[in-house]
């Protein structure tokens, strides 16, 4: 449980690049990471939101703004107890979604999802691609939107060796999303 108590600060650090503009000026939108009710007794959820505390019962509706106007993200982690005393946990899932927001008409389009399912059994479908950080191109049409584009396949065992190494790789992927997606010229795209 010690690892979980320190986790909110690590999560904010991982996501910080998304809320700081390229010149290093802090965006006034601050992100908060807090516990949320889990659907299963053995699970612990950490989720991120910006601004005022949202409805605590629905962490999947929590969002935070990026430094780039017109974009927002959703991030949550689910941890599962691996002992009967609920003292030891392992990460079950870490999910980040990047969406574009339109004002006229009001709408949202999911662009990309950065997922990680480190507790997936090796025998499950696509586990080798899904256990480490991987991308989904949500803006693409089926079947491409369902592809798991692995980011760390070549050194997956090193990535999954600890929560810290996994966090480092998720953080690197977040920086890539900032540098390769948020900095693009979106004004010409409808």
8 three-class SS: helix
Residue 22's pLDDT band, with cuts at 50, 70 and 90, is low
**Which residue is listed with tokens 């050194």?**
155
The number of folded domains in the chain is 1
Whose CA is closest to 169, among 122, 135, 124?
Answer: 135
Residue 113's pLDDT band, with cuts at 50, 70 and 90, is very high
Residue 99 falls inside a structural domain: yes
pLDDT value of position 26: 58
Residue 190 falls inside a structural domain: no
Residue 188 falls inside a structural domain: no
Q: Which domain holds residue 30?
A: 2-182
Segment 78-100 shows an average pLDDT of 92
Question: Is 155's pLDDT higher than 50?
Answer: yes
Helices and strands (H and E) in the chain: how many? 4, 8
Residue 136's pLDDT band, with cuts at 50, 70 and 90, is very high
Residue 172 falls inside a structural domain: yes
Question: Is 28's pLDDT higher than 80?
Answer: no
Regarding predicted confidence, which is higher, 171 or 41? 171
pLDDT value of position 56: 77
Whose CA is closest to 102, among 187, 32, 7, 40?
Answer: 187
Segment 67-93 shows an average pLDDT of 91
- The DSSP 8-state label assigned to residue 141 in this structure reads P
Q: Give CA–CA dist 170/159, Å, rounded.
A: 10
Question: Is 31's pLDDT higher than 50?
Answer: yes
7 three-class SS: helix
Mean pLDDT of the chain: 89
Question: Is 109's pLDDT higher than 80?
Answer: yes
């Amino acid at each position: 449980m010690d690892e979980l108590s320190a986790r909110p600060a690590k999560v904010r650090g991982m996501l910080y690049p998304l809320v700081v503009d390229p010149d290093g000026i802090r965006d006034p939108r601050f992100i908060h990471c807090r516990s949320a009710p889990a659907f299963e007794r053995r699970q612990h959820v950490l989720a991120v939101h910006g601004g005022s505390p949202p409805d605590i019962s629905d962490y999947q509706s929590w969002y935070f703004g990026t430094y780039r106007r017109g974009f927002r993200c959703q991030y949550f982690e689910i941890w599962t107890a691996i002992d009967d005393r609920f003292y030891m946990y392992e990460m079950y899932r870490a999910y980040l979604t990047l969406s574009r927001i339109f004002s006229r008409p009001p709408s949202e389009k999911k662009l990309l999802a950065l997922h990680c399912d480190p507790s997936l059994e090796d025998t499950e479908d696509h586990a080798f691609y899904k256990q480490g950080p991987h991308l989904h191109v949500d803006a693409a049409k089926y079947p491409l939107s369902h592809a798991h584009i692995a980011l760390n396949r070549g050194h997956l065992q090193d990535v999954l060796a600890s929560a810290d190494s996994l966090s480092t790789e998720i953080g690197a992927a977040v920086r890539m999303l900032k540098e390769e997606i948020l900095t693009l010229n979106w004004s010409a795209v409808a």
